[in-house]
Amino acid sequence: MMPRYDDTSPETIKKQIVFATIVLVGTVFMLNFFVPNADLILAERIFQASVAATVVVVYWPDAKAAWRSESPERGDYLIVGVTLGWCATFCQAIFSVVFRLAGMPLWFTNIDANSLWILMSAISGIMHIVAPGAVDGVVPRRNRIVLGLGMGVAVMGICIVLWTRPDISTYLEACRFFLEDTASWFLGLLDRAAAGAWSWFA
């Protein structure tokens, strides 16, 4: 039975989220059999940009008030973090749409503006981590440890990648069929599974 949209109980909200997820994932999965990946991803990016813009518009007044607050509370950190994160998502989605519509020029992947929304996303994550400490002024020890470890892994990863410049093209090419046409790979997997099961009874 479908959940009532006007019922705000926790159980109903959870059901609505699960239902929406199943509908979206199921729709994309079915379309993947009939629509070329390039067109499907372009449509998904446009949908993503629209949802992100909606979130930013809804949260913007509260985010502005939270930013100006002289004594921010736990929710203020989360509101600003959510707004920044979805701003970054909107920018990334629009970037992808423009990139695909322009014929995917390689130089466009290295424009300076990329750094802006990448850092916005990172700052948003940090604000989500420190938010629990906004009430008593002290970020929980566990969160501080995780944040420190995360920053350490980030710095180490940056140093390793920039120093070694690993060539992963061989590995990527090996996964190309699966990544490029997952639907065909899935159907092939089903065919092989069915053939294997049939051989047991043949």
Q: Is 0.75 topped by the overall pTM? A: no
pLDDT at 91: 93
Q: Is the separation of the CB atoms in 42 and 54 below 8 Å?
A: no
User: How many whole angstroms separate alpha carbon 50 and alpha carbon 47?
Assistant: 5
- Check whether 1 has a pLDDT greater than 50: no
Q: State how far the Cα of 134 lies from the Cα of 132, in Å rounded to an integer.
A: 6
For 25-49, letters b (16+ CB in 10 Å) and e give eeeeeeebeeeeeeeeebeebeebb
Is residue 67 scored above 70 in pLDDT? yes
Query: 145-159: per-residue pLDDT in tens?
Result: 777 787 788 778 778
Q: Mean pLDDT across the stretch 120-147? A: 71
pLDDT tens digits for range 30-55: 777 777 878 888 888 888 898 899 98
- What is the pLDDT confidence band of residue 189, given thresholds at 50, 70 and 90? confident
Contacts of 184 (CB under 8 A, 6+ apart): 177
Q: Which of 18-22, 29-33, 144-148, 182-186 is least confident? A: 182-186
Q: Are 125 and 112 in contact (CB under 8 A)?
A: no
pLDDT at position 3, please?
Answer: 47
CB distance 117 to 93 below 8 Å: no
